Structures are given as C-alpha cells and as structure tokens.
Chain A
C-alpha cells in the first residue's frame, strides 16, 4: 500500500502525499511548486489557460520502454491523485536544455522551441495570459502530428480561449511552426530514468488521506483492477468516483463537491478496452473521447461528428464515455445516439455484473438505476446498418467547446418512400433524454416527405417539456424540436440529389 502519488514534473520526480495529493494540478504547480507560468482563469476547463502536457509512463512493455504519449490537459480540473506515474510538462519546461529545475530566468530567443519562436515572431501573444496555455496545447499538437493543416490547428485549439488576438496571429504562428522541425518531447525528456522509478512502484495499491480545508478527513483510493474498485465501493458506497474528472473537478472548484471518499479509476487499465466493428462499439467505461474520436470515424461518422465538438481536446483527452453517462445530464452530448441504438450498460458490483438498456437507466433528473456499490464498467452500442439514415444534432451557443442547448438523434429506416421504423431521441427538453414514442409511432408506415416530417414536429413538441435557462429559451427549444425533423428531411433529400 502506497500513501502517495509519484509524478514527474518537467523531468523531475515528486512524491506527493497528504493534502497536496488532493489539490488540483494547477494549484499544486502554482502554490506548492511555485511554477506560476501555468495560469488559472476559469477553474472549469473552458479556457485552456492552465493547459499542461501530460503523459503516462507505462514503465515497460515486453521489456521495451514505450515512448510517452503527451496530450494537453486542463490542469485546473485534474487532481494530483489522478496522475500517478505521469509526466507533466509545463510551459516552464519547454525552453531548451531542460534540467528539471524551475526556469529561474527569462530564456534567450535561441533557447526557445521553434513553436515558441513562431509565437514571438508572429505576434501570437498580446497580453500573454492565455499564451502559456496556447504554447502548451500547440506543442501537444506538433507532438502528435508533425505537419498539421490549418483545419487541424483550428480543431485542436478549440480548448484555448484568447481575447486579444482574434486568433489570426496564433494561426499564423502555428502554420509557421508546422514548417519547422520540432524535436520530440521524448527526446528532450528521456523516458528511461522515469521508467526506472515507475517500475518500482506501479503495481502498488494507493490510498491517500488528508484533511481538507475544513479539517475533514478525506480518503482517495486509486485501485489497479475492477475488483479492487468495487471492493472499495462496497465499503464506501457514497464515494465520489473520478475518471476524467472533467465535471467533478469543476464541481470541486466551485465548492459544490466536498466528498470524504474518492475512488479514482485512472489506474484501472481494463476499463479502457475498446472494440470497434461495423456492428458495434464496445467500450470500457473509462475509454476517453479522444480514443473514440480516433477510432469511430468510418463506422459511425455521425457519432464522430458529435465527438469532434464534444468539449475541447483537453476535455476529450481525459473525459470518458462512462462519465458522460453516469453524470446523467439531460444535455449530455453523447446520449441521444445510445437511446436510438438501445445501447447496453454493464454495471459491476461485488456481487457480479448486470446489463441495463440505456432507455431504462434514467429514472428522473440525475436519478439512475444504479445500485449502491455498482460501478459502470462498459458500454455496448449496437450500430445501425448502412441502409438506416441516422443523424445526430447538437445545437449550442458556440459550435465548439460548448454545452448543448438541444440535442437530437433521428434514426429512420425506409423501405422505398415509406418509413419502416423511426427512432428519435431528444436531449435538453426535459429532466432526462427522451425517446419520442408518439412521434415514432406516427411516422411508422407513412411516406417520407416534407409534410410528414412537419406533422411529426407538431407531435414531437407535445412530448417534451423544455425549460428556459442560461443556454436558451423554451420557445427556442420547442422550435428546434420541430425544425430538426424538417432539417433531417432536407438533408436526406439533398444527399439523395448529390448521390
């Protein structure tokens, strides 16, 4: 049993115990380590100013040390205890000749990375407050893709807000950096020494305790297996479960989450298994959105489209498929698809595993058919056949990095001009994501034409109970509920015309 997290920061090993392990990474960097280059703006993963590079050191695999795969994450919504055996590179660790020490003085231009130099040359910084986050996120992009296009850059930087530049100079800098060599982070921070330290401790079970700011004792368990996880959950059924932490972290920062017991799933490798075929997506509950984004494009292009506007890269790198389900928000981007596909959820407890259809899982607002001690361990999404028309819709105030105002999945099987079967699910129109049974029944057997779809819209609005909130008014949502059916029709017709 280990009572600390082992993490590496800019190449240097840190043993983190007690209260520090319960801090967000950004607090730990800024307050404990005095690395103030990482900035905090929103404390909710929406602005990217706190971005750092994070890579898991796997110790070794078949005697080979694997290179670390670095990704940008939001350090303000990542707890230190989630980072065991990870290497964190902050903005201070990007200038040349990293020696694991805090950068004590301003580097010269020739010590900067080519990406940093490009940001200087192209006036990619104005006030400079978002700049460290951008530099980190951009470094991560180059690490994965040595020659990104403008579209790649735009897609990969949706998690970083800048209020000064209008982004154009940042895009210029990015494109300039694309043409220049960028040495890999694995060269600059050799994995060997870190792997040695990791091998010694990576099999340990971890449990860390500390008093919180109100002197209440907190305990976190970071198990390695599902068995250990459900064991802890059986003892502490009210434990807060953390996987990606992209929502829990926000609630913690905003003061609405002070659990005594935490169960962290980041070390449970069996929860990240992913199998994608033409027939189905079978994902462990801790499969990240990034892993899904990278694998589902051909088998489920509509799902891929929604994933690509799900949060930001920083959120997708850590956020999990299971988290979006258990979080039980009626505005969760991913849910409508599962509803029309009759996705199955695998729930595991000490006493075994049961499977629940997602259509039966949500009992009310944030109320789940989840027994005490049960853990969501897997999701099985049967995919519709090629002859089925499926469209997923997300309407939000902003296209990227935004929470839905309205979501929908429309799935129609046609035989000739006749609708053989319709499955429709809407989100953000009531306390839970909803299947529109009356609308589905209405559509079945009718001719697929504009009139039918307009009439279906009139039925749809009677099945839903949207409210007005900060993301949109009731009238807007009702109008959308009608309109997406008509939009679906026109999309099918337009596509037909092109084909």
Chain B
C-alpha cells in the first residue's frame, strides 16, 4: 500500500490526504539508528585522545567507619593519573534532591555496601583494572540496619510520618459488619535499564566543563556538579542525547557517576569517562522501595468498604533521595479506584544500610495500589464472593462518591465503563466459572483470575516541578530544530514532540528534528518523570511554536492582503497546513512554509522562540494531606489469568486483557509500547523479580543470572491490549494523556490472580501471600495453607 506514495527517509509513506501527524503511528525518531546499531549511547562515543578511564572502589561493609585508605600502591601503577578520595572534594561533598544528606565520596562513615570511597583515573582500562585491585580500605564495622522490621524497631527514620485522612476510620471499622486486618510485605525492584549508569566529561574554556550524562534530569546534574566542584552553574553544561532505559533509576542516581567524571576533569584538565558494569550498577544504585503495610478494613456483607487504614513503612535505604516524595504518592494512591468514606493512609520512610532507594516507574503508587488490591481480594475471599463485585461496588462514582480522601474532585471518571467493558470483552464471568470447574478437576494445575483497575494521578506532587521550557528554531529552508528539557529514555517523548511541532507549523514531521537535551538550551528543567514528559515539554514546545506562528502569520497576512479583492491583512485567517501557508479567504493561493520562513528572515522577523508551560491549578499541602495534587487521572484496568503448578509453584500468566484510557493518543504505536512494556514490567515486579541480600547487606542478585526480569516467553501467550477512546481530557496538549507509569500498576492483576487461585485451595490458615508471588512464595502458601488438610 505504500507504493502509491513517495516515501520518507524513515520508510513511511507521505500521504497528502492526512492532515498532520499527531494521532498517527509514526516510527520512533531513533528507530533506524537503533536497528542499524548506529544510534550512539555515551559509551559508544569515540574516545577523545586524552580521555581517561575512571573507576571506583566502594565500601566493603554496610555500616561502620573508615579507619584507613591505602592508595599508594594504586598510585604507583603505570598509567594511573590520579587517585581521589573525599579529601580531594571541596567542602561540598553532599547532595540530595529533597534533603541534602547523600555523600558523594564516603569520608569517615560508610552507610551501604559498595558506597564509593576511592576514585581512580587511568590512561588505559588495563591500568585502571590493576589499580582498582590494589586499593585497600580498612574499616570498623558497626551493626547495619538491613530490614524494614529492624528499622521500625530501632526507629531509624527518614523525614516525618505523613498522613492522609478523612472521616473516622477507626470508628467505621469498629462499627462494620466485617473486619479484617493483616500485614502485607511488598518487595523492591531493580530498574534494570539495559544501559548501566554512564557519564563522560571534558573541559571547556573559562573553567567550564561539559558532562554527557545518561540522566533523566540534566538540570540536577548541572546543579550538583557545580555545587560539589565549587564552580557556578554557568560553568557546567549537561547534555543527554538518549538513555538506554531509565525507568526512574536515572532521575537522581545519575548524579554520582557524573560527579566522578566531572571531578576527574576538574583535577586533571582531561576528558574522563565512567561506565558502570551491570553488577556494580545493581549493587550500588537504589531500587523500587520495599514496603511493609499494616492494614485494617471494615466492610458490609456486600463487600462495601466503610473504613480503611493502611500504615506503611518503606525501605528508604541509607539516604533520603526521593523517598519521602515516593511515600507521598503511595498515600495518594491507596484509594486506587475506590471511594472510601473513612480513610487513613499513613507512612514512614525507614533508614537502612542499603543504597538509597529511588524512583521507579509508578513512584510509590504501585505499592499503594497493591496494598489495596490485596485487601480487596481478602474481602472477596472472606465473603466468598467474586472480587470483581467488590471492586465494582466500591468504585468511585460519577455523580456522587467522587471526592478523593485528599479532597480532590475526581472528574472525567471512566472507570465504571472501563471495568464493565473489559469484563465483557474478556469474557470474565464465563472464565471464572470455567476456572472454578477446572480447579476441582485438575490435580496438577491451579488457576486463578482477577481484574484490577488503576487511577493514576498525573502531575508532580511538588508544585514547582510542574513547568517546562522549550526552544524552537525555524530555519530558512522551512526545517525546524526543537530542544526541550525533556530527556529521551526510549519512551518516545522526542517522537511525540516532533509530531506536535510539525502539526503546529503544518509541515511534515521529517522536517522537524528534536535535538539532544542540554542545559545550554533549556535551563532550570524538571526531571523527565511522573509520566508528564509530553504534557509539560510538548506544551512548552507548542507554546514556542505559537509565538513564531503569530509573527509569521502577521507577516503572511500582509503578503496575502489584496486591495483589488478588498482583502485587508488578517492574521487570524492565516492557515499552516500541508507544508504551505495560505489565507483561508483565498484557498488557492499558497506560499510554501520554507518560502515564508526565508522571506520572514529577509524582513527581519524572528522565527525562533522559547516557549514555556506551567501546569495550571495543581497544589497539594503535604502537612495537611489535602489539596489538588493532580491535573487529571489516567485510568485503566487489566484482567489476568494464571496457571500454577500445584507441586512446584511454577507460575504462568496465560492470558491478559488490558484496557487503558489514555485520552487521544498522539502516537498510538508509541503509547501501545508504553502499555505493553509497563504492564510486563509490573508483572515482573509482582511475580518474579527478587532482590536477595546476604547477612552483610550485600546484594546477591546483582546480575541477570540471578535477577530475573521477564523474558519473552513470560509474555502471556494471549495478550490483548486496547485503548479506551475518548476526547474529554481538555487539560493537556492535543487532549492526550500521560501513559508512562499507569500501565505498570496494572501488573498487580497478575498478583491478584495468584491470590485468587490460592483461594480455591482448602485452608486452615491464611498464608498471607507476599509480593512478589514467586514460585517459591506460591509453594510456601500452598504448603502452609494445605498443611493438615487432607490431600486430594
């Protein structure tokens, strides 16, 4: 079918009948580079002649003090240029995105295994390898805090306890017909971006340096490098072309490697590069927080919840990082999709001797949702009714029961329709009946099914982060470069911005290129996070385009004005489409966009602009736990069916149906990739991925040999993903909705399906299935549950 039309360089057909590129599945802007192996990542860049190899030696213990650091032997290695410790860092050896409590290089105290202590730069990788082996660090170990339980006992806390409360949950629970309570353990998760942490730097004039960092947050790198090196922000340029995955793991944690190379460049005046290997990366960087949730719930005989209390403790690791903000999002997502009149969610971040835990897709939301969905399954088990009924009855209403516990009105609620549609398209009811029968008959396998919804709040809960700027430059041949503070980690942000900008000017998207993210072009940017990358940066880019178009339209209006035909110049009649500009009153006469751009320059009209956007109306008071933290909610639901080997616990997710409301998609191909990718990542978290530490606090599962993310055969053989079309998100650019994080939370359906499967077994006790539901955990539950019950 492509033959009818001319082809673009990316192989897609140019169909002049199509108006604009927004809404169409166009390829990722780096796709050709990706598949041909010529899209460079930082460690693929050619080395500069003088470039140094950088590595570090970390703490051998999780907690204690440094008695002596022996670097003399390392310094003597041929080819070693410098060996640096905290002594070589200026007075600012600490940083932190919320609380300034994280050391760059450990000085006297060490707080987690692998914490960087000694930095080495060498001419060759061989010399670096030799030198690293020769560093000796003498320490005196203290007893580390390694689990949430230990931290709770010792009151080892980070930040204050936070709470969101409405009504009187204690009273409501006490008065309810049924009460349940329990403890729920939720495991952490490694981001497992394929490209490990990496940074390269080189010196520039006037004391400047340029840092290439695989970071979601160029401004943070710029600011921290300036601070720690004792220079000014205008002396640091941070550039990020692309990341080989990030998922939150490069929102703050790209800082340390960037500091390492920046310090080496400052000390030596030479280019420097560090690329962590995967084991090091996994051992020393933070992950999704493990949680402990103590909960109690009161409900009536239909399963309607009258009161809910969830009290969380999270494993924050050794320093604050983003943990308090992550806990906040947990509290804000404990309601998930349900209206709960009497509600209390409270949370405390715990300090442990592990690498500082950090952002990971969902940012605390998944833990809150998992906690609530566990409770829903428990209610259903208790009442011996299907959990779907419990869910539907507790859903937020449209006309009433539509205010969240933190006081935000939940508008544009599509959940009832999404759940009912999905129940029907997934044939939910019949499959429940089939599963019930098969579970009675099959001695080898146990099956379960569950539907879980999600309502994910979009916006940063820290108000000031909800802003973005963009730089749009139009050139005299009609092509355009766009730069924003948004970073490309594979999510397709650049592709969407390209489409938005192309449509603003009515030109083909191949005439727009999105440039590497750089603090030189976009200052004071927010991290590309909270799913809001396109909402913020796309809107800022459109704002810049609007300013340019205004000037071009004013100018074009004078060109189309015709005294003969009585047409006065009228900028509001100027239309940009199909690569041309015209006056809608004279549809036959057009000027090519490129011509207009060129003529505008000759007339001394500025055809470049900065744009700015700030999210309107969001505000949240974290002290009172009330406000409107979110601009809107991305919604969806998933049905997962699982098959469990009764004797090994082996789990297979056999069928999954997803339905996601993501507004009007800017690029359905990109968005569908976020949905499938997010779901599978969430499924990995709830069913398979296990962080195992030894008794010293060192991570044992530090590579893909021992840490198992989903493989291709773990994708459900029957995997159906649909979008729920709607046009009512008036708040955002082109009526789209954020899609990065929400699908991850749908992975919880797979866990809930396991819980459902276990409910078919006779039981003497409730085994309290933990998350993740690994084969080992499932077999523990089966064995514990059926102990004493005669086997069939």
Chain A residues near B (Cβ < 8 Å): 30, 34-39, 41-44, 46-47, 49, 90-92, 94-95, 103, 105-110, 112, 116-117, 119-132, 135, 153-155, 157-158, 160-171, 213-214, 250, 254, 393, 395, 397-403, 405, 450, 454, 469-473, 475-476, 479-480, 483-484, 486-487, 490-491, 493-494
With contacts A166-B678, A487-B648, A494-B443 taken as known, whether A125 is within 8 angstroms of B28 at the C-beta atoms is yes
Given A120-B11, A487-B648, A103-B247 contact (CB < 8 Å): no
- Report which of B279, B700, B715 forms a contact with A166, defined as CB distance below 8 A: B715
- Least CB distance, A432 to chain B, in whole angstroms: 21
Q: How far is the CA of A476 from the CA of B491 in the complex (A)?
A: 39
Please, how many angstroms separate the alpha-carbon atoms of A491 and B442 in the complex? 11
Instruction: Confirm or deny: B650 has a beta carbon within 8 angstroms of a beta carbon on chain A.
Output: yes
B735 at the A interface (CB under 8 A): no
B46/A107 in contact, CB under 8 A? no
In the bound complex, how far is the Cα of B780 from the Cα of A473, in angstroms?
A: 10
Q: How far is A403 from B708 in the complex, measured between Cα atoms in Å? A: 10
Q: Which residue of B lies closest to A401 (CB)?
A: B711
A171 touches B715 (CB 8 A): yes
Q: Do A112 and B278 touch across chains, with their CB atoms under 8 A apart?
A: no
CA distance A214 to B129 in the complex (A): 9
Q: Is B620 an interface residue (CB 8 A)?
A: no
Q: Is the pair A107, B679 in contact by a Cβ cutoff of 8 Å?
A: no
A39 with B194, Cβ < 8 A, contacts A92-B38, A109-B7 known? yes
Number of interface residues of B (CB under 8 A): 91
Kindly list chain A residues whose C-beta atoms are within 8 Å of the C-beta of B776: 397, 405, 472-473, 476
Q: Which of B321-355 contact A (CB under 8 A)?
A: none
Contact B490 A127 (CB under 8 A): yes
Contacts of B692 in A (CB 8 A): 470
Query: Could you tell me which B residues sit within 8 Å of A by CB distance?
Result: 7-12, 25, 27-28, 30-41, 43-44, 46, 125-126, 129-130, 191-196, 242-247, 277-279, 443-444, 489-492, 645-648, 650, 652, 669-670, 672-673, 676-681, 688, 690, 692, 700-701, 703-706, 708-715, 719, 721, 774-776, 779-780, 783, 791
A-B CB contact pairs (8 Å), 30 listed: A36-B40, A36-B44, A38-B37, A41-B196, A105-B38, A106-B33, A106-B38, A106-B39, A117-B11, A122-B669, A135-B35, A161-B194, A163-B193, A163-B247, A164-B673, A165-B677, A166-B681, A166-B715, A167-B676, A167-B710, A170-B712, A393-B648, A395-B648, A397-B776, A398-B708, A400-B712, A400-B714, A402-B708, A470-B700, A480-B647
A231 CB → nearest B CB, Å: 32
Question: In the complex where A161-B704, A395-B648, A403-B705 touch, is A126 in contact with B712 (Cβ < 8 A)?
Answer: no
Pairwise interchain contact A168-B194, C-beta atoms closer than 8 A:
no
B703 & A42 in contact (Cβ 8 Å cutoff): yes
Q: A403-B706, A480-B648 are in contact. List 16 more A-B contacts (CB 8 A).
A: A105-B38, A107-B32, A120-B31, A126-B491, A126-B673, A129-B245, A132-B34, A154-B713, A155-B713, A158-B713, A163-B677, A166-B676, A470-B700, A479-B783, A487-B645, A487-B647
A44 to B278, CA, bound (A): 10
* Interface pair B36/A398, CB less than 8 Å apart: no
**Cβ of B195 and Cβ of A127 under 8 Å apart?**
yes
Chain A residues within an 8 Å CB radius of B650: 395, 399
Say yes or no: B690 contacts A397, CB within 8 Å: yes
Give the residues in chain B near A106, CB-CB below 8 Å. 32-33, 36, 38-39
Residues of chain A within 8 A of B191, CB atoms compared: 163
Bound Cα distance A92, B44 (Å):
13
Given contacts A42-B703, A127-B489, contact A103 B38 (CB under 8 A): yes
Tell me whether B35 and A476 are in contact (CB under 8 A): no
A470 touches B192 (CB 8 A): no
Separation of A46 and B672 alpha carbons in the complex (Å)? 27
Which A residues lie within 8 Å of B31 (CB)?
Answer: 119-120, 123, 125, 128
- Residue of A47, A124, A398 touching B194 (CB-CB under 8 A): A47
Residues of B within 8 A of A135 (CB): 35, 37
Closest CB-CB distance, B213 to chain A, in whole Å?
A: 15
- Among the listed B10, B37, B721, which residue makes an inter-chain contact with A91, where contact means beta carbons less than 8 Å apart? B37
Q: In the complex, which residue of chain B has the Cβ closest to the Cβ of A157?
A: B712
The answer to whether residues A213 and B37 also contact, given A49-B194, A157-B712 and a CB cut-off of 8 A, is no
Taking the closest CB of chain A, its distance from the CB of B11, in whole angstroms, is 3
The CA of A160 and the CA of B622, in the complex, are separated in Å by 43
Which of B35, B243, B491, B705 sits near A131, CB closer than 8 Å?
B35
Contact A112 B243 (CB under 8 A): no
- A92 and B194 contacting across the interface, CB-CB below 8 Å: no
B28 contact from A126, A393, A480, Cβ within 8 A: A126
Are A483 and B713 touching (Cβ within 8 A)?
no
Smallest distance from the beta carbon of A175 to chain B beta carbons, Å? 13
Q: Are A112 and B35 in contact (CB under 8 A)?
A: yes
B37:A90 contact, CB within 8 angstroms: yes
Known: A130-B194, A213-B126, A476-B779. A161 touches B709 (CB 8 A): yes
* Complex contact B672–A123 (CB within 8 A): yes
User: Which residues of chain B are near A472, meaning CB under 8 Å?
Assistant: 776
